[in-house]
A and B are shown apart, each in its own frame.
Chain A
């Protein structure tokens, strides 16, 4: 298949499955973005780190899966293990985020430019990159669909190119998240975001442990 045709197909697949990607990444992305400072620039910076690391996760998975020959058909047990591990790690990073994202006020009643909501000690963009990388490894349905298609290509390079184009298509759907920068930040927004992160982390943790133990994730 010509490279352009394959890239076009991957781009279209990414664009078509963007809403599913947003849905899968939303619980991680929205609360963590809300702990950032208000404004487009911090949000764009955060999203760039998140998406860059997500691309890295995609490509790493593509390389490893290609080498192991499991890109098209990963057995249920290892898939469950991988997802369980990703969920547990996501829970860990989210909990770290929730703890580290705090209002660091230089001094009480200081001027507003001295109060940096959400900018915490030594976190930088590492948190965004960690979350992006882990969501890149998350085997969501569109990702699996892309994997199956990429496996039919002739070489690893072509498969990686396919994943990169797929990533580009899905990433366009993430651009509106920058608008979360318009939401004014105050202590209430930060606290709500941190509490939500803890809840989501606990949810992921329970799901992850159940998957790692090979248990059903539904009690019915």
Chain B
């Protein structure tokens, strides 16, 4: 029975009509141009052009999602673009403002360290115990301020749950892009215990951040320091820190995704991803498997980039807690057994409507957050080239 299901081609639902697809895309079109079409915000000519390109890009991708009824491949184009353009815009800005990618101690003391979302779970316990933020950044002084990032993260997380990791994270796109390169995985047998590593990293880093009063993950283990803001090494220890960052980046973001076709940094290491998994419990959106339709061919398990499906979870009719709601399993299922689902409703209750509701929220936020980063990256390229 499993063989029969495996031989079925991936589901190819009939494309939606162009008119209907355009109508469904209209709110996103308006939102995109509201976000990027304001000349007062983007007075710079290059930024204006980059904003227009981004608005068009995001709208076209959403239109294709509506037209083809497929999600993953179009989301991946956005996500990989985000992953590749984030370092471009970020490094360009750093070099422009500071003259270097390295962060010296003076900048840290002055609280001018840009804040990303990764340290959020590390800040909670020290803030609760001592009312102190153990990060050398400013709370609200600029666009990299903690307040802005925490606000954006909270809004997106409450709606999307761990969907943040598929529609907003500006780090995951690089490995997703690398994972898309080889036609098939060279390493197929993956130890399921590796899924627990992010939880261990989260536990260790939260406790160490509390004990040592520093964002321990940022200091020692963040692979993305290699492509964003490294330690301006002034002694041997600084050099060792940078070597750790580069090795983790090379291993988890380049080599392993290429060999496994999975997002290995997200699945096997990222403590923020583990933290986000908790919020899947409160998000109203989830992925469900209709057990009546499912013939467990496990194509979905192979397609999942985040190892969020196992034989046991498929048998239970659900994904694991770490599901990022990227849509890969839905697109690949030959029986349309996996669906977007709104908690509290029947599984078979208008799955396309649930998908649309999720995608409107996810894409609107992706435009606002990821789109701005893409626009900055494009503007940086235009500044350099033109």
Q: Residues on A close to B: CB < 8 A?
A: 19-20, 22-27, 30-31, 188, 191-196, 198-200, 203, 210, 215-220
Contact = CB atoms under 8 A, between A and B. Distances in A.
Contact of A196 (B126, B203, B232): B203
Give the interface size bracket for B toward A. Answer: 35 or more
A86 to B, nearest CB: 13
Interface of B: 103-105, 108, 125-126, 129-130, 193, 196-197, 199-201, 203-205, 207-208, 210-211, 213, 216, 220, 231-242
A200 B106 CA distance: 28
B196 A195 contact: yes
A210 B199 CA distance: 27
Contacts of B220: 203
Contacts of A220: 103-105, 108, 231-232, 234, 238
A197 B25 CA distance: 50
Given A203-B216, A219-B233, A220-B103, A23 B203 contact: no
B200 A26 contact: no
A25 B207 CA distance: 9
Contacts of B204: 27, 31, 195-196, 199-200, 203
A30 B241 contact: no
B237 A219 contact: yes
A22 to B, nearest CB: 7
A199 B200 contact: yes
Contact of B231 (A198, A199, A219): A219
Contact of B236 (A19, A191, A194, A215): A215
B309 to A, nearest CB: 17
30 contacts: A19-B129, A23-B211, A23-B213, A26-B207, A26-B211, A27-B204, A27-B210, A30-B203, A31-B203, A31-B204, A31-B207, A188-B199, A191-B193, A193-B203, A194-B200, A195-B197, A195-B204, A196-B203, A196-B204, A203-B208, A215-B237, A217-B237, A218-B105, A219-B234, A219-B235, A219-B237, A219-B239, A220-B108, A220-B231, A220-B232
A27 B239 contact: no
Given A23-B211, A198-B200, 10 more contacts: A19-B129, A23-B129, A27-B211, A195-B197, A196-B201, A196-B203, A199-B200, A199-B201, A219-B242, A220-B234
Contacts of A216: 235, 237
List 6 tightest A-B contacts by C-beta distance, closest first: A219-B238, A195-B200, A199-B204, A219-B237, A220-B105, A27-B207
A220 B237 CA distance: 8
B57 to A, nearest CB: 38
Contacts of B193: 191
B235 to A, nearest CB: 6
A196 B200 contact: yes
B210 A26 contact: yes
A30 B130 CA distance: 19
A185 B233 CA distance: 42
A160 to B, nearest CB: 27
A175 to B, nearest CB: 16
Given A19-B129, A200-B208, A192 B203 contact: yes
Most buried by B among A19, A31, A188, A218: A218
Contacts of B129: 19, 22-23
Nearest to A220: B105
Contact of B196 (A191, A217, A219): A191
B199 A192 contact: yes
B200 A192 contact: yes
B145 to A, nearest CB: 21
Given A191-B193, A192-B203, A23 B208 contact: no
Contacts of A23: 125-126, 129-130, 210-211, 213
